[in-house]
Amino acid sequence: DAGVTQSPTHLIKTRGQHVTLRCSPISGHKSVSWYQQVLGQGPQFIFQYYEKEERGRGNFPDRFSARQFPNYSSELNVNALLLGDSALYLCASSLTGGEGGQPQHFGDGTRLSIL
Amino acid sequence: GEDVEQSLFLSVREGDSSVINCTYTDSSSTYLYWYKQEPGAGLQLLTYIFSNMDMKQDQRLTVLLNKKDKHLSLRIADTQTGDSAIYFCAESPNTGGFKTIFGAGTRLFVKA
């Protein structure tokens, strides 16, 4: 069975541009979460979606948005890119998305570099 | 506040046991996790423990949970060079708004 897949694997953008990152969860998983991992740090929570609804949001500006589609895949959008947005963006899926957590399975991430 | 703390580095010899420690702050967490990250890769779920358990063993991995001290540890028996990676401790608070909070990671070096 396929794990969590993310695309693209690498991306280079310039300041002020917009980016869309994509994620397909494990088959049967209905919840998708997005994380930002800056070099040398642990992942920071951005969003969780379950059944196409936003269930949680981390401390990120409104330039970050996401959505989940009927097939449970998800997109993360970032507008007006800043140098500080350079990071590994990780997607994770779980069966459901209850508060208090569920074991999440991660993709290999999209490495975003801002010039 | 919400915080997960880990030591940054651990170095062991091949064949020895490794113990990676973590402290967390939110006693409401139902699940506590250990993830492994190899260079250039995403996070691999190694194991997890329910908050109503004290210990969980899974082959070479043993997780110990001390809820009173909010301390979690991961023991890797017979550590191999392939275990060299960054290990993340994480919690999912019941009052956390559906998020999982990660520590900064412990980099494990295994010397042959």
Backbone angles phi, psi at B38, to 5 degrees: -95, 160
Of A104, A107, A108, the CB nearest to B100: A104
List the structure tokens of B97.
Answer: 């708004």
- 8 Å CB contact of B92 and A100: yes
What is the band of B95 on the pLDDT scale with cuts at 50, 70, 90? low
Residues in B closer than 8 angstroms to A9, CB to CB, are none
From residue B8, give the alpha-carbon distance in Å to each of A16, A42, A88, B54, B105: 34, 11, 20, 24, 6
What is the amino acid identity at position A112?
A: L
**pLDDT tens digits, A1-31:** 689 999 999 999 999 999 999 999 999 999 9
SS3 state at B82 = helix
**pLDDT tens digits, A35-68:** 999 998 999 999 999 988 998 899 999 999 999 9
- 8 Å CB contact of A100 and B31: yes
- 8 Å CB contact of B103 and A42: yes
**Residue B80 forms contact with A (CB below 8 Å):** no
From residue A12, give the alpha-carbon distance in Å to each of A115, B42, B54: 7, 19, 45
**pLDDT tens digits, B21-73:** 999 987 777 789 999 999 888 999 999 998 889 999 999 999 999 999 999 99
- 8 Å CB contact of A42 and B95: no
Please check the confidence at residue B2 and state whether its pLDDT lies above 70: no
Distance (Å, whole) CA B30 – CA B37: 23
CA atoms within 13 A on the CB side of B94: 7
